[in-house]
């Protein structure tokens, strides 16, 4: 049995691939960070404190965000994937995927 990569592991993998990474503790912090940053890519958990991933995506889009969204979930059912796609995610990935897959999808 393997443990899914942590947000820090995903952040380190993206940093190693050349991305500048800002980790936040939840949706509200991500919204505040967007007010001072203009990211090209946002990797968001689907289930977060404050805002869930789809709600965060909608709020950021309403604020003018044009970043590509990648949603991460421990529940990659067709229903969750559809919710994320409807909110604007380019893709909805399982958290248990190897971080190399995330880096590939980010490119």
Q: What is the mean pLDDT of the chain?
A: 86
What is the pLDDT, as a whole number, of residue 29?
86
Give the model's confidence band at 1: pLDDT under 50 very low, under 70 low, under 90 confident, else very high: very low
Q: Which residue has the higher pLDDT, 61 or 107?
A: 61
Quick check: helix, strand or coil at residue 102?
A: helix
Is 3's pLDDT higher than 50? no
- Per-residue burial over 3-28, b = 16 or more CB atoms within 10 Å of its CB, e = otherwise: eebeeeebbebbeeeebebeebeebe
Residue 92 inside a domain? The answer is: yes
Burial class (CB in 10 A: 0-12, 13-18, 19+), 35: exposed
71 within a domain of the structure (yes/no): yes
Within a domain: 1: no
* Pairwise CA distance, residues 60 & 74, whole Å: 23
CATH code assigned at 89: 3.40.50.2300
pLDDT at 38 over 80: yes
- What pLDDT is attached to residue 5? 61
Enclosing domain of residue 21: 7-106
Q: Rounded to whole angstroms, how far apart are CA atoms 101 and 105?
A: 6
**pTM for this prediction:** 0.85
Q: Give the separation between CA 85 and CA 100, rounded to whole angstroms.
A: 22
């Amino acid at each position: 049995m393997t443990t899914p990569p942590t947000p820090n592991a995903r952040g380190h993998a993206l940093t190693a691939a050349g991305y500048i990474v800002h980790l936040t503790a939840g949706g509200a912090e991500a919204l505040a960070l967007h007010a001072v940053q203009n990211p090209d890519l946002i990797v968001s958990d689907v289930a977060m404190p404050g805002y869930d991933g789809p709600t965060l995506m909608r709020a950021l889009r309403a604020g003018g965000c044009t970043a590509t969204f990648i949603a991460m979930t421990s529940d990659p059912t067709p229903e969750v994937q559809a919710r994320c796609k409807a909110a604007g995610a380019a893709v909805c990935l399982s958290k248990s995927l190897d971080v190399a897959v995330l880096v590939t999808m980010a490119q």
